[in-house]
Amino acid sequence: MEETYAVVNTTIGTEAQAVALARSIVEARLAGCVQMRPIHSVYRWQGEVRTGPEWLLTIKTAERRYTELERHIQANHPYETPEIVRLTIAGGSRQYLDWIDECVG
């Protein structure tokens, strides 16, 4: 069976937290790459609409590593309910997908 791949998104409060989480994910071989960018979020939390800056992490991984990646994010994330959204990659450059495979072992 051919390997499948995913993009996983999570948000976090500060750049320092984003760098630390991204680095721990890549060091644990749970992703080949994590991209980080600042965003501004509007969301409902505890009955209130709130706004604020966050950092969006876009994580590229193999589907077989998803469960461990999810556990890692939950264990290392400061939010009570972190965003963890998995999007299956329908296709992509074979060379790039092979690289992800190499990275996650």
Q: pTM above the 0.85 mark?
A: yes
Mean pLDDT of 73-86: 97
For residues 100 and 74, what is the distance between their CA atoms, to the nearest angstrom? 22
For residues 35 and 104, what is the distance between their CA atoms, to the nearest angstrom? 16
pLDDT score, position 2: 75
* CATH level 2 (architecture), domain 5-104: 2-Layer Sandwich (3.30)
Question: Could you tell me the two tokens for 73?
Answer: 């994010």
Question: Could you tell me the two tokens for 13?
Answer: 């409060």
Helix (H, G, I), strand (E, B) or coil at 82: coil
Q: Mean pLDDT in the chain?
A: 96
Mean pLDDT of 20-44: 98
- pLDDT reading at 1 higher than 60: no
Concatenated DSSP letters of 5-59: EEEEEEEES-HHHHHHHHHHHHHTTS-SEEEEEEEEEEEEETTEEEEEEEEEEEE
- pLDDT reading at 3 higher than 90: no
